[in-house]
Chains A and B, each alone.
Chain A
Amino acid sequence: DIQLTQSPSFLSASVGDRVTITCRASQGISSYLAWYQQKPGKAPELLIYAASTLQSGVPSRFSGSGSGTEFTLTISSLQPEDFATYYCQQLNGYPRFTFGPGTKVHIK
């Protein structure tokens, strides 16, 4: 089974900071990866699919990169509304749609 790990698990940052979250897959998954943001009590929101394609309506400060086994989500300038938990999700391996454990971004 393909497993995803994320680092860091927790991240303290300030408004305006550049933030990078890493997702690693136990096997190569090409570009079959999505990133989601979830706030407490809310539904997940799709940010990125196909590793680097920005979902329509998502601010351009979010970007994704990587392929194979290592992926990154970058927030170029953290905004107050970005404090949330971020998950990567693989879209092709077995079992399909496995999520990473999440990275919680909170205010420093």
Chain B
Amino acid sequence: EVQLLESGGGLVEPGRSLRLSCTASGFSFGDYAVNWIRLAPGKGLEWISFIKSKIYGETIEYAASVKGRFTISRDDSKSIAYLQMDSLKTEDTAVYYCGRGVYNSNMYYSDSWGQGTLVTVSS
């Protein structure tokens, strides 16, 4: 069974950093891409970042709202993806989800998501 488990969320002051982890099980993690999205209170889903698998060069993409502040990475030996979040702002408060990225029909999409971890940025 495909499982993704986010961790590392919590309460943090504006300007500080936090690192989220996405631990995968039930599939060959290294063969898949990873997406991070978030759901802020009262808002809709927002895509944040994407990393391809090593065989596809670990190409990385970011949304404009986090580019330069957030860094995505992966450790295939541990089946973990990370989201390093620096210079956090109050508007980064959200539940963060990681998703398994599948390449099929000439496109990437996420077919499975974790249950999310809550990040609260407040002084």
- Closest-CB distance, A64 to chain B (whole angstroms): 12
Q: Is the CB of B35 within 8 A of A97?
A: yes
Given contacts A89-B47, A96-B50, A102-B45, contact A46 B63 (CB under 8 A): no
- Closest-CB distance, B60 to chain A (whole angstroms): 11
Q: Is the CB of B113 within 8 A of A44?
A: yes
Q: Collect the chain B residues with CB atoms within 8 Å of residue A98's CB.
A: 47
Tally inter-chain residue pairs, CB-CB below 8 A. 66
Number of interface residues of A (CB under 8 A): 27
Give the contacts of A84-104 with B (CB-CB under 8 A). Answer: 85, 87, 89, 91-92, 95-102
Q: Collect the chain A residues with CB atoms within 8 Å of residue B44's CB.
A: 85, 87, 99-102
Mark A residues whose CB is within 8 Å of B: 31-32, 34, 36, 38, 42-46, 49-50, 53, 55, 85, 87, 89, 91-92, 95-102
Give 10 CB contacts A-B under 8 Å. Answer: A31-B105, A32-B107, A43-B114, A43-B115, A44-B99, A49-B111, A50-B105, A92-B107, A97-B61, A99-B44
Mark B residues whose CB is within 8 Å of A: 35, 37, 39, 44-47, 50, 61, 63-64, 97, 99, 104-105, 107-116
